Amino acid sequence: MNQVEIIEVGPRDGFQSVKAYIPLDIKLSIIDELINSGIKHLQITSFVSPKAIPQMQDAQELAAYCLQKYPNAHFMALVPNLRGAKTAWETGIRQISYVVSLSERHHVANINRTRAESFADLLNIQMQYPELEICLDLATAFGCPFEGRKHEQDVLGFIKPYVESGIRTINLCDTIGIANPAQVRKTIRAIQQVYPGLELQIHIHDTRNMGMVNTLAAIECGVTKVQSTLGGLGGCPFAPGASGNLATEDLVFMLSEMGYELGIDLPKLIEAARYQTKVIPDAIYSGHLHKISQHI
Ligand code: COA
Ligand code: ZN
């Protein structure tokens, strides 16, 4: 089964890296383009404090509009606390990414609370919204700008209480693009060995041009859901030096050439990436394909 599901996270991870507010109709037009090219899974926004991430101030309106317009798409949103989960649920979102960092220092910088406090809040979310599907977004899973390299033993120890609390999906995020394929394989295999039933996803930033090889390493270890952003738009405002993400269209090109079934129209996706660079010109794009004028 050569099937991989692409989860487009540009409308969250990409847009949040853009300083100037992107008007809602522009955001929605990019989401339209993505869906028209065959993308079915999208992280469309985050329910966070507008003081922390002003770009996401329109989360509720955007999510409500998308849910109504595309009832068959799979939309999820990032959430940092109970308040975010409540708003997401009330807006109609049924799948959230609950963000925590493997590194305590990055976690505090990002969420302004300790990892222990975030874990306690997760238990509240699970109790109050038992039907909410929760993916644990594990930031700095391979290394942290403040604490340095992370290892598979760090990940295993950290996720234990989460798995015991009922978490069934974990997204390994290389927030600062520090991972290498050997580390990705080692981490994934270690998790698979201890938790064979756990679903793993991967989310790699392209800071050191390692987005593609690390994502491929994960896929070749059996990961079937991978995250990327249109045009490679992205970054983490709380991780110094973070750059763009792995570009969705570049990933789609590689995987389709390798024979993976994705159900995505590549020319349309490249057009979508070009459209995005026109409407959001002041941003970091780590992708390659949308910059090439001729495609064979
Ligand atoms: N959605 C909207 N507003 C929220 C919120 C949420 N999920 N959580 C808190 N707020 C509001 C509070 O109501 C309060 O508003 P007020 O000042 O008008 O009363 C304000 O934000 C501060 O609330 P507080 O609980 O003290 O939070 P904080 O200042 O300690 O910030 C977070 C904590 C988690 C809300 C904030 O750090 C955050 O949103 N971080 C997200 C970071 C992020 O998205 N990073 C990138 C993704 S990896
Ligand atoms: Zn990211």
Give the pLDDT confidence of 221-264 residue by residue, as tens digits: 999 999 999 999 986 555 566 578 999 999 999 999 999 999 99
Mean pLDDT of 75-91: 98
Retrieve residue 206's tokens: 């392209």
Question: Mind listing the pLDDT tens digit for each residue in 27-37?
Answer: 999 999 999 99
What pLDDT score does 243 carry?
Answer: 73
Are the CB atoms for 87 and 108 separated by under 8 Å?
no
Question: Residue-wise over 236-255: b if at least 16 C-beta within 10 A, else e?
Answer: bebbeebbbbbbbbbbbbeb
Ligand 1 atom index nearest CA of 137: 48
Per-residue confidence band for 284, with pLDDT thresholds at 50, 70 and 90: confident
Mean pLDDT of 163-171: 98
Domains and CATH numbers, the chain: 5-293 (3.20.20.70)
What pLDDT score does 296 carry?
Answer: 55
Residue 49 near ligand 1, beta carbon < 6 Å: yes
User: Could you give the CA distance from residue 48 to residue 167 in angstroms, rounded to a whole number?
Assistant: 21
**β-pair partners for 204:** 174
Question: Mind listing the pLDDT tens digit for each residue in 113-146?
Answer: 999 999 999 999 999 999 999 999 999 999 998 9
What pLDDT score does 253 carry?
Answer: 97
Mean pLDDT of 174-184: 96
Residue 100 near ligand 1, beta carbon < 6 Å: no
pLDDT of 95 higher than 80 = yes
pLDDT of 195 higher than 60 = yes
User: Could you give the CA distance from residue 256 to residue 254 in angstroms, rounded to a whole number?
Assistant: 6
Mean pLDDT of 35-53: 98
pLDDT of 97 higher than 90 = yes
Which of 49, 58, 91 to probe ligand 1 with, by most ligand atoms within 8 A of CB? 49
pLDDT of 211 higher than 60 = yes
Which of 48, 111, 115 to probe ligand 1 with, by most ligand atoms within 8 A of CB? 48
Per-residue confidence band for 282, with pLDDT thresholds at 50, 70 and 90: confident
User: What rounded mean pLDDT belongs to the chain?
Assistant: 95
Q: How many angstroms is it from 133 CA to the middle of ligand 1? A: 21
Burial class (CB in 10 A: 0-12, 13-18, 19+), 192: middle
Q: How many angstroms is it from 78 CA to the middle of ligand 1? A: 12
User: Could you give the CA distance from residue 153 to residue 102 in angstroms, rounded to a whole number?
Assistant: 11
What pLDDT score does 293 carry?
Answer: 76
What's the whole-model pTM score? 0.96
